[in-house]
Amino acid sequence: MSPTAKPAVTSGETQVLGGITVIDTPLVTRALDLARTHSEPYLFNHAVRSWLFAVRLGQLQGIAHDAEVVAVGSLLHDLGLTNSFPGKKRFEIEGADAAREFGRAQGLDDRRVQLIWDAVALNSTPSIALHKETEVALCTAGIGLDYGGPQYDQIPPDEMNSILTEFPRLDMKRCFTDSVCAIIKAKPETTYDNFARDFGERFVPGYHPQSSVDFLMNAPFEE
């Protein structure tokens, strides 16, 4: 994880969710409310678990970070998969733009808003995001843990059980697949260069992604 500026929020009121102690501020409450309002239950639980995993990984590894930025980035990272933000861009960018608007409306400075935008936009690109600022990397690590299990063994079993009991997966694998496939069917052109392509090739009949090799070979240059 890359170095980051001195955390803007490291202490204050806390709450316990899924057995994990996390920050409790009006900003976090509003981010929770926004995610809950726009997300299906399975997706809301995924967002909260991602936050809890990000926080716990940070705690276990002693990583100083802006707790509000990690909360907002994690909680809002899949807004683009909901029906509320159906723009023409790839869903991660639609979600990042929505999260940026939220941050600005809450009075966050440009640096914190940019960190939130990056955390959301890059959440499904860990090969980049894990080398970004600490907050972006932590969000990505928490999201990735809940999605595919990386660092699963870093969370003590009793804590894992507590998180999954309070925020169950609710058929996450099937529901998430359905959500991504719906995006692919609605705007396939946004899925050719990201992980959604894998879902399209496996689950969506008639899906024909463009190849990055074709872009090079068909470029309007002689050589």
Burial class (CB in 10 A: 0-12, 13-18, 19+), 123: buried
CB 81 within 8 A of CB 95: yes
| 6 confidence band (pLDDT: 50, 70, 90) | very low
Model confidence pLDDT, tens digit, residues 50-75: 999 999 999 999 999 999 999 999 99
User: Is a pLDDT exceeding 90 seen at residue 5?
Assistant: no
Instruction: Output the pTM of the full model.
Output: 0.93
| 11 confidence band (pLDDT: 50, 70, 90) | low
Domains of the chain: 14-170 (1.10.3210), 171-223 (no CATH)
Half-sphere exposure of 26 (CA within 13 A, CB side): 4
Between CA 114 and CA 171 the distance in angstroms is: 32
| 3 confidence band (pLDDT: 50, 70, 90) | very low
Give ∠ CA 42-96-51 in degrees, rounded to 5: 45
CB 134 within 8 A of CB 2: yes
Model confidence pLDDT, tens digit, residues 145-159: 999 999 999 999 999
SS3 call for 163: helix
Model confidence pLDDT, tens digit, residues 94-112: 999 999 999 999 999 999 9
SS3 call for 135: helix
User: Is a pLDDT exceeding 80 seen at residue 12?
Assistant: no
Model confidence pLDDT, tens digit, residues 167-178: 999 999 999 999
Half-sphere exposure of 82 (CA within 13 A, CB side): 23
User: What's the confidence (pLDDT) of residue 82?
Assistant: 96
* Residue indicated by tokens 């990690």: 70
Helix pair 67-75, 26-38: axis angle to 10 deg:
10
User: Is a pLDDT exceeding 80 seen at residue 223?
Assistant: yes
What CA–CA distances, in Å, run from 173 to 11, 62, 99, 139, 168? Answer: 35, 31, 24, 20, 12
- At residue 70, φ and ψ (nearest 5 deg) are -65, -40
